[in-house]
Chains A and B, each alone.
Chain A
Amino acid sequence: MSKQLITLTVNGEPSELAVESHWTLAEVLREQLGLTGVKIGCNAGDCGACTVLLDGKPILSCLTLAVTVEGSSIETIEALARNGVLHPLQKSFLHHGATQCGFCTPGMILTSKAILASNGTPPENVIRDQLSGNMCRCTGYTKIVEAVQNANQELDDPPRSPIKVDAVGQVTGGAKYTDDLSLPRMLYGKILRSPHAHAKIVSIDTSKAEALPGVVAVMIGSELPTKYGVLPASQDETALCIDRVRFIGDGVAAVAAVDERTAQEALRLINVLYELLPPVLSMEDAVRTDLPKIHPETKYENNAAKQVELEFGNAEEGFAEADYVREDEFHYGANTHAMLEPHSALASFESPNQSKSCKEGHLTLWSATQVPHYVHRTLAKVLEMPASHIRVIKPHLGGGFGGKSEPFALEFCAAWLSIKSGRPVKITYTREEVFYSHRGRHATKMQLKTGVKKDGSITAVQYKAMLDGGAYGSYGLVTTYYSGQLLTLPYKVPRYKFESTRFYTNKPPSGPKRGHGAVQPRFAFEAHLDRIAEHLGLDPAEIRLRNLVEPNSMTVNSLRITSCGVKECIEAVMKASGWKEKHRKLPRGHGLGIAASAYISGAGKEINWLGLPHSGAVVKIDRGGGVTVFCGASDIGQGSSTVLAQLTAKTLGVDISHVRVYEADTDLTPVDLGSYSSRVTFMAGNAVLRAAEDLIGKIFDTVAEKLQTAKENLVARSNEIFVNDDPTKQVSFIEAARLAEAKFGTLSAVGWYTPPPLGGTYKGAGAGPSPSYSFTAHVAKVEVDEETGHVKVSKVWSAHDCGKALNKTLVEGQIQGSVHMGIGEALTEEMNYTRATKETPGGLLKATSLLDYKIPTSIDTPPIDVTIVETIDPEGPLGAKEAGEGPLLAVPPAIANAIYDAVGIRLSSVPFTQEKVLAALRGQARSKKAISETTEVSAK
């Protein structure tokens, strides 16, 4: 197929381009014109990230052939700012904090531009409707809608909180994500995946693929046989499968070729011979002992991966003491992160002697990861290469939510293919591969038994969980513990017993997703508690208030509570929602539900138990007054770099514009364990704070001498150091820094954070303790369509105790995003698999696109009202603790409880799909009918 010349106007400039007929506009814009602000989130028209304007109208460039836009005018995000001045929409997005990871932002802004062009002051419902093809996974849309509504307003006031330090790049298309990077002579890699859920690999023949022109390197699993896993205790993965495949989508071989189409073609030429094994597709299968073990090396007879049993106090005594004991069963379906940016890794291996020996060369890996440090460690292990020869860099990241918090096959494959070929290799997953990579929420079956006194006070809780872990360990050991350990918050549980078992199954591996381990039991417990309250005739809010843990206390399983504002959270959402006036009082079909939760601010124990700091930072001051922060913490869109910049700026008394943060680069930045477990603000924040305090101490020493005052009298603010009670005595920050440098030498300082010893002494006490816990309460309002079963969440009121909101806009964004994700989990998102039939063995993931995996759109996500509760944590940086994950936990139960308030059905299985709701309503109608018939009979 020969290329043809087309002319079109791109961003106001006439362009003549040679394109092939089958190239999409997205490919041409990104790869020929370098306009990488055009994002590819799904490449199938389901996410809107690739939106561009075609003659002023938004279209999807991934579904438009370049040859069909000849003569047209195309506008991408890159051209929105004119002569260096941002477009009002771009300014408004910055001002309102409407970007988090920024991956949806270009498409979102371009669509918004078209909305404003046809409707100067659109109402909220029009904006939500018109943006409904642009998925955002971070913000919950609330701030985006605000930004669009107010785009034409003059922005007189400064923004309430500092603007994200990376946001300008996000709104202009300048931010480079991993897939936006390319290097000279770069090859494209692809991974061949297993079509079988469980099979032995008999042989792999790659000769035909190797012979295909354009293919440069091919690899199979036996080339990298070293096992790895993110947790030291579950090293059960290899870069590619060697002798056995464990789920449909497991990697088997990989190729690198001159372009992606050739790589795609080469995969078809690899011949793998499999010997099928019976698949283990459910937890019912997994408990059987007559099916093959997925990991034969485990100590269990069946496919259990980890079993935990712990008891604190005597639960039976507690039940005996209770006035009412209730038992319920719950199920939580599997769901996944669906971050908009697919995983991507670019590897470049350079060897001084043209030698392919790993020992000599140096490898640089750019990867869309939440955990550069773990990727770094694991690459060294698997590649058998000195870690000192490896550099891992996380570029701008398009959302993670836990889905990028361990090493993935593409990182090893890109690296190894680069080593083999001597050329840079980039692998970007397709949306379908992202679904197979999974590591999301474990499907969980749960049994709860709770004893209460008449006044609602809890006497004992017993919990039993079965977790569907999928094919590999991932963080599953931790999930198994968290499932039970975190259930003792936020209510006082005087006696507690739990049993938690994770199973291997032949499905994509489950792992950590926002609210790791705690989301499923929190749903179960909050729904359970609502039923208990009803039995006792108590207001559901009241039973919660009566059982709350208190500040500076210890749970029965030795979790140390310091700051705690859960009571304030519950009271805040009751007030904001008009709980007392509305609960149980709305017309049928409308209802309110409440739930509360707590979550860790980072894990007290580092996963490798090495006794090393969890986070480290270097802060240096330049002679020009610039301050540079180096910290391994990964900004994954949540704004951690902004928070670190703020902490530094505040401590040194300089404007935040003078602070630059270099993050997540294993060569440049001290180790931070990564962005997971809601640990970054707390831990990296403390590390940076410590370094900045060290520096300001030196500066104060110097200035005190010069101004002839005591160090304690000095204040650093507004780029000056001055005497507190006589501000005329001052030295500029730049001068102060120079004086300090003259006195102390080059100005830089290190800081680090290691949590204090926490937790009990029993086996398993390491999982659950955190230096601090956040607390949340939500009230959800729903409208249930009793004819379709559709549940519309029409409003959510949230209150969250984050200790101290270092950046209110970012905190609100985290809460609103968590609520969005919680609504998706509660109503529409689920990982389902094909069942075994006569024709097929089953185990094939049914939703492998963003069309079939249903994340809520801007129409399906309600306005989310946020109250921030501040409790000033004694150990958090300036009193701060987590906000990124905790606010998700109580969303599904608040919705479940609201559905009950609306229509009187108790749902025990997440998600509450339309179908399940309708079935429950029909069941209710039948039993009502039966009751009324019985009553009639007895009346006669």
Chain B
Amino acid sequence: MMRLPSFDVAIPRTMPELLENLRPNGLGVKIMAGGTDLLVNMKQGFHISRRLVWPGRIEELRHINTQIGGEISIGAMATLSDVAASDVVKTSYPSLSKAVLSIATPAVRNRATIGGNLCLDTRCYFYNESEFWRSSLGGCLKLNIPTHGTGDVCHSAPGNAMCSAVSSSDSAPILLALGASVEIQSAQGKRIVPLSDFYANDGMRFLNLATGELLKRIILPVSRYGLRSAHNKVRSRQSVDFPLANVGIAGVVEDGRVFTYLRIYVGAIQSAPIRVPSAEALLNGREATTVLIEKGAEEAASCVKPIQNVGGTVGYRKRMVAMLVKRTLVQLLTSARD
């Protein structure tokens, strides 16, 4: 059995206690949400931290409710199962519920959290492997192994100066498309930022989250009249697997045939979900004919730059992006719900 390395776990009971635990102390701390990804990585010998903080006992971080203004607020520690099953979510944004249900497996979703999924470590063939495996290969940009190799090589794309490990969250693209914001808190105070500002397209530093800060909750705007949205993914098995590509799209369909206000996000290709404004522009305001949808889908695919670092070749994943965008747009056009 792979055993975890030894570490401490702090289990704060209140927000102030939690924030106190997150204060920079020079030793480094890591927040563990559900642990379903983090603990695998730690078993594989990533020397993440000697101290974990688990906010699972703080009730307010697990809420899912509608705020006075009509926005939906989801605590970062709400489990994926709770999010998917929530009436609030199912009523306003069934696409989010569906996206969340496509993550991992039922037992994982009972433990994994929405905050954890948004902060999911980026993935790469050459990174998500055991310590032994990586020692055989040597270090990489994302992983400097002092004893086994320096961190100046990218095994997926030799010559790359920047890590391209993949953002593999299935909740992020749809939340981005829906215009979600996140509340970030530290001992110094809180800030609310659009989710799009939360991500950086950098495999190593993919979250704009400073030391001491915590993703506290996700805020979804009031469901706009007529907004339709959907999430789709491609993977090789119909359970368990991370996406080879996914998309989240939200928009309004006017007269049943014209897209407006489209927001198209492509995930699982680069180190952050990628918005494709040129495809949106091409599609918005015109009659959504088959030809136009295909053009929009091709445009979306041309905007993203996969490298061969998870399953599937570059060409396949690009084609899957076009296919997913097309399929999702058609789904929006034909969905009954306004």
Residues of A within 8 A of B (CB): 1, 20-24, 27, 40, 43-46, 48, 51, 54, 57-60, 63-65, 67-68, 70, 111, 129-130, 132-134, 193, 195-196, 248, 260-261, 264, 428, 430, 432, 787-790, 828, 834, 837-840, 844, 846, 848, 851-852, 854, 856-860, 913-915, 918
Whether the pair B238, A132 counts as a contact (CB closer than 8 A) is yes
A21 to B7, CA, bound (A): 6
In the assembled complex, the CB of B145 is this many whole angstroms from the nearest CB of chain A, namely: 12
Which of A1, A133, A196, A248 interacts with B107 by CB under 8 Å?
A133
- Measured between beta carbons, the chain B residues less than 8 angstroms from A40 are 1
By the criterion CB–CB under 8 Å, are B238 and A860 in contact?
yes
User: 1/0 per position for B1-15, CB-CB distance to A under 8 A?
Assistant: 111111111010000
Is there contact, CB below 8 Å, between B239 and A195? no
Which chain B positions have C-beta within 8 A of A840? 137-138, 155
Which of B2, B40, B110, B136 contacts A844 (CB under 8 A)?
B136
Chain A's nearest CB lies how many Å from the CB of B329? Answer: 13
Query: Among the listed stretches B20-28, B194-202, B215-223, B316-324, which one makes contact with chain A, having 4 or more residues with CB under 8 Å of it?
Result: B316-324
**A848 near B56 (CB under 8 angstroms)?**
no
Given the complex of chains A and B, what is the CA–CA distance between A60 and B39 in angstroms? 12
The interface of chain B, by Cβ under 8 A from chain A, is 1-9, 11, 32, 35-36, 39-40, 43, 52, 54, 56, 81, 104-108, 110-111, 125, 129-130, 132-133, 135-138, 153, 155, 158, 234, 236-242, 311-313, 316, 319-320, 323, 326-327
Contact yes or no, A59 B111, CB < 8 A: yes
The answer to whether A432 and B108 touch across the interface, beta carbons within 8 angstroms, is no
| Distance to closest chain A CB from B241 (angstroms) | 7
Partner of B312, one of A70, A844, A915: A915
Contact B130 A848, beta carbon cutoff 8 Å: yes
**Selected contact of B110 from candidates A58, A129, A248, CB within 8 Å:** A58
Contacts A65-B54, A828-B236, A913-B236 known; A54 to B6 CB distance under 8 Å? no
Interchain CB contact under 8 A, B110 and A857: no
Please give 9 more A-B residue pairs, beta carbons under 8 A apart, in addition to A64-B35, A111-B106, A851-B240.
A40-B1, A43-B1, A45-B36, A57-B81, A67-B11, A68-B35, A196-B136, A788-B320, A860-B238
Shortest Cβ distance from residue A919 to the other chain B in the assembled complex, whole angstroms: 8
Whether B158 lies near A60 (C-beta < 8 A) is no
7 shortest interchain CB distances as A-B pairs: A133-B105, A132-B239, A195-B136, A21-B9, A859-B238, A22-B4, A857-B239
With A68-B35, A787-B327, A828-B236 in contact, do A63 and B111 touch (Cβ < 8 Å)? yes
Smallest CB gap from A789: residue in B: B316
- Contact residues in B for A860 (Cβ distance below 8 Å): 237-239
Expressed in whole angstroms, the minimum distance between the Cβ of B314 and any Cβ of chain A is 11
| Structural contact, A111 and B125, CB atoms closer than 8 A | no
- Tell me whether A260 and B1 are in contact (CB under 8 A): yes
**Beta-carbon contact of A857 and B11 below 8 Å:** no
Query: Is A21 a contact partner of B35 (Cβ separation < 8 A)?
Result: no
Complex: chain A residue closest to B81, CB-CB? A57
Q: Which residues of A contact B54 (CB under 8 A)?
A: 65, 67-68
Known A-B contacts A839-B155, A851-B241; A57 and B110 likewise in contact (beta carbons under 8 Å): yes
**Chain B residues, CB < 8 A from A834:** 137, 155
Closest residue to B7 on the A side, CB-wise? Answer: A22
- A839–B237 contact, CB under 8 A? no
Contacts of B56 in A (CB 8 A): 68
C-alpha spacing A37/B291, complex, angstroms: 57
Residues of A within 8 A of B52 (CB): 21
Decide: B110 and A54 in contact? CB cutoff 8 A: yes
Q: How many angstroms between the C-alpha atoms of A662 and B213 in the bound complex?
A: 61
State the CA gap A1–B5 with chains docked (Å). Answer: 11
How many Å lie between the Cα of A232 and that of B72 in the bound state? Answer: 70
- Residues in A with CB closer than 8 Å to B316 are 789, 914-915, 918
Show 11 residue pairs from A and B whose CB-CB distance is below 8 angstroms, ordered by the A residue: A45-B40, A58-B106, A58-B110, A68-B54, A68-B56, A133-B107, A839-B155, A844-B137, A851-B241, A859-B238, A860-B237
Chain A's closest residue to B238 (CB) is A859
A132 in contact with B240 given A44-B2, A68-B56 (CB within 8 Å): yes
Which one, A70, A193, A260, A839, contacts B158 given CB within 8 A? A839
B120 to chain A minimum Cβ distance, whole angstroms, is: 13
**Structural contact, B313 and A68, CB atoms closer than 8 A:** no
Least CB distance from A391 to B in Å reads: 26
